[in-house]
Amino acid sequence: MLSKKTKYGLKALAFIARQEENEPVQIATIAKSENISHKFLESILLTLRKSGFLGSKKGKGGGYYLLKEPENIKMVEVIRVLEGPIAMLPCVSLNFYEKCDDCPDENACSVHKLMIQVRDNTLKVLENNTLADLT
């Protein structure tokens, strides 16, 4: 299940992407428009800034703005930053692999096989969609 942090992060990025001329947008404006807690949104946007998706400008006319064009921001990258691994189980994760304690043989595990399919199809969707597709 997608966390509220990730859902709100995607909504905020889409809101920022819809702005004309990539003008900085204040947190309060995004929070009000997208019905997100100001304090929670502040934390999310800080994470996105530190990860290189957003820039920020202080003072009058300040706020957050995109550092890349929306069509160059892949959803898989955003999800990994906000949510963590794409895989639902650590034994099928490409970047965060861990063996399951209760599984003696991954190759014989029916759940493992299913979760590989889920991971691969999820990755396909997220890699083929960008922020531009959300706007």
The enclosing domain of 38 has a CATH number of 1.10.10.10
129 and 101 belong to one structural domain: yes
- Cα–Cα distance for residue pair 130/135, rounded to 1 Å: 9
If asked whether residues 78 and 54 sit together in one domain, one would say no
Q: Are residues 38 and 90 in the same domain?
A: no
Predicted pLDDT of residue 78: 96
pLDDT tens for each residue of 93-105 = 888 888 888 888 8
The total number of structural domains in the chain stands at 2
Picking from 34-38, 66-70, 83-87, which range would have the lowest pLDDT averaged per residue? 83-87
Q: What is the pLDDT of residue 6?
A: 96
Q: For residues 78 and 130, state if they share a domain.
A: yes
Which ranges constitute the DSSP H helices of 1-135? 4-17, 27-34, 38-50, 75-82, 110-127, 131-134
- Say whether both 55 and 78 belong to one domain: no
In terms of domains, do 79 and 122 share one?
Answer: yes
Query: How far is CA 122 from each of CA 1, 87, 110, rounded to the nearest angstrom?
Result: 12, 8, 19
Helix (H, G, I), strand (E, B) or coil at 55: strand
Range of the domain at 87: 74-134
